[in-house]
């Protein structure tokens, strides 16, 4: 799967400084993100299809017998990788289902994308063992199926960047309004001090 480091770094940087200030300002119905109340079916479909692609790998991994590889000289870390891959499939399915219903949180979307890409990276390592110690054609098939979500991951990246830009604009509006209020307050005359009465 081709690297997406530059795009993720840009989105991650925006997530760090855009979402934190936004939490300091009280949300109002007028400024709430439209995604929180009206989920775009196309966006929801991206998360749903990613979950479906990953779920297809579950039955295929049942054919992987990593425990038998150890007898052939393979490191026992493959056993842990196989168990982790099965857990990740379930976790990704749950996470993508939640994001399909609430895709407006930038950090949650980034976390979901990172999780899927981490899963693919670990799966590539496991497939290296499968190809060497058990069944090369099965490894090729699993990796071919795993690569079917690449189009959705590209779409998810684009959505994350659009969402980051939207939140950046929302922050700029809030920041400009705060500066205007501070400027207005600074121009107001200070309240007159009441003179102290002498103590009898």
Q: How far apart (Å, rounded) are the C-alpha atoms in residues 21 and 106?
A: 13
Angle at 196 between CA 190 and CA 200, to 5 degrees: 175
Q: 32 with 180: CB under 8 angstroms?
A: no
Question: What tokens were used for 126?
Answer: 């496991």
Q: Please check the confidence at residue 92 and state whether its pLDDT lies above 90.
A: yes
Confidence check: pLDDT of 113 > 70: yes
Report how far residue 65's alpha carbon sits from residue 81's, in angstroms, rounded to the nearest whole number: 12
Which domains occur in the chain, in start order?
Answer: 36-166 (1.20.120)
Tens digit of each residue's pLDDT (9 = 90 or more) over 114-168: 999 999 999 999 999 999 999 999 999 999 999 999 999 999 999 999 988 887 7
- What radius of gyration do the chain's Cα atoms show? 26
């Amino acid at each position: 799967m081709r690297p997406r480091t530059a795009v993720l770094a840009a989105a991650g940087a925006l997530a760090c400084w855009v979402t934190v200030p936004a939490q300091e300002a009280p949300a109002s119905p007028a400024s709430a993100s439209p995604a929180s109340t009206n989920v775009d079916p196309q966006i929801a479909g991206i998360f749903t299809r990613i979950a479906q692609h990953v779920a297809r790998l579950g039955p295929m991994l049942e054919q992987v017998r990593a425990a038998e590889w150890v007898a052939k000289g393979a490191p026992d870390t493959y056993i842990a990788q196989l168990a982790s891959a099965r857990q990740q499939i379930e976790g990704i399915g749950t996470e993508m289902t939640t994001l399909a219903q609430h895709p407006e949180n930038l950090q949650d979307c980034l976390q979901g994308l990172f999780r899927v890409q981490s899963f693919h990276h670990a799966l590539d390592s496991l497939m290296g063992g499968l190809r060497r110690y058990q069944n090369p054609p099965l490894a090729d098939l699993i990796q071919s199926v795993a690569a079917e979500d690449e189009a959705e991951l590209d779409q998810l990246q684009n959505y994350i960047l659009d969402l980051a830009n939207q939140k950046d604009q929302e922050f700029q509006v809030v920041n400009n309004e705060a500066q205007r209020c501070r400027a207005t307050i600074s121009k107001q005359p200070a309240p007159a001090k009441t003179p102290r009465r002498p103590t009898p």
